[in-house]
Amino acid sequence: MKKIFAANWKLFKTPAETRSFFSKFKEVVGQATGEVVFFPSAISLEAAVETTKGSAIKIGSQNCYVQAQGAFTGENSAQVVKEIGGTYILIGHSERRAIFGETDALIADKVAFVQSLGLTPMLCIGETLAEREATHTFRVLETQLHLGLAKADKSKPIVVAYEPVWAIGTGKVATPAQVAETHTDVHSILTKLGFTAPILYGGSVKPDNAGELIKQAHVSGFLVGGASLEVDSFIKIATV
């Protein structure tokens, strides 16, 4: 399974800051040991695509709607992402679920729509601290995968990103043993559902823990937040 190093910039970086970042990152991307994907904010998406043309860097959108166009104020079109040169769409991030109320049913529609356009969905799953402490992690992930992939095409590419909600932006990180156990569970659930997909780990990944985490079973790469905002820290992660 190929390694993927993905960067979720959330609501950071202006178009000018995006161009500045990639003018530097293009010089070192050749050091990466896998595919490198960036998810800039919607307003900086075109700047990212334009600045990375001709490089190995892939660009995607952090979100999309389930239709290409229409009266959907404030939404993003996956068709536009495709037309400007994007190749990935991030779907179901915990912030989209918790803050914006996205349901598994909506997420399933997004996955299917993105695949229909020939783009690759990166489906995010993960449990809260309360769910982990109640030993409900497996059940939560199984439900999210079962419902989120309900309309997905098994013959088309898809990437899964496991991000324990309690480890996102908190400075906490799952132990290598917890990562190995959970990624093995996710792999078994996907296999049962008939899917083959890279499984990325996300949740306070940094240069000093990436090397150990990448060694764990069924870890095919990372979805990185804060540590992806600086060229030096992200390339260190992408070269493990």
Q: Residues, the chain, total?
A: 240
Determine the average pLDDT of the residues in 87-109.
97
Cα distance between residue 188 and residue 79, in whole Å:
33
For 171-211, how does the pLDDT look when each residue is reduced to its tens digit (9 = 90+)? 777 899 999 999 999 999 999 999 999 999 998 899 999 99
Domain span at residue 44 reads 4-237
Q: Do residues 123 and 149 lie in contact, with contact meaning Cβ atoms separated by under 8 Å? A: yes
For 118-172, how does the pLDDT look when each residue is reduced to its tens digit (9 = 90+)? 999 999 999 999 999 999 999 999 999 999 999 999 999 999 999 999 887 777 7
Can you give the pLDDT at residue 173? 74
Catalytic residues: 93, 163
Cα distance between residue 171 and residue 147, in whole Å:
30
DSSP state string for the chain: ---EEEEE-TT---HHHHHHHHHHHTTTGGG-SSEEEEE--GGGHHHHHHHHTTSS-EEEES---SSSSSS-TT---HHHHHHHT--EEEE--HHHHHTT---HHHHHHHHHHHHHTT-EEEEEE---HHHHHTT-HHHHHHHHHHHHTTT--TTS--EEEE--GGGSSSS----HHHHHHHHHHHHHHHHHHT----EEE-SS--HHHHHHHTTSTT--EEEESGGGSSHHHHHHHTT-
Q: HEC states along 86-104?
A: CCEEEECCHHHHHCCCCCH
Determine how β-strand 120-125 pairs with β-strand 159-162.
Answer: parallel
Determine the average pLDDT of the residues in 32-51.
98
Number of domain units in the chain: 1
Single out the residue of 32, 38, 52, 43 nearest to residue 7, CA to CA.
38
CATH label of the domain that carries residue 143: 3.20.20.70
Q: Say if pTM beats, i.e. exceeds, 0.85.
A: yes
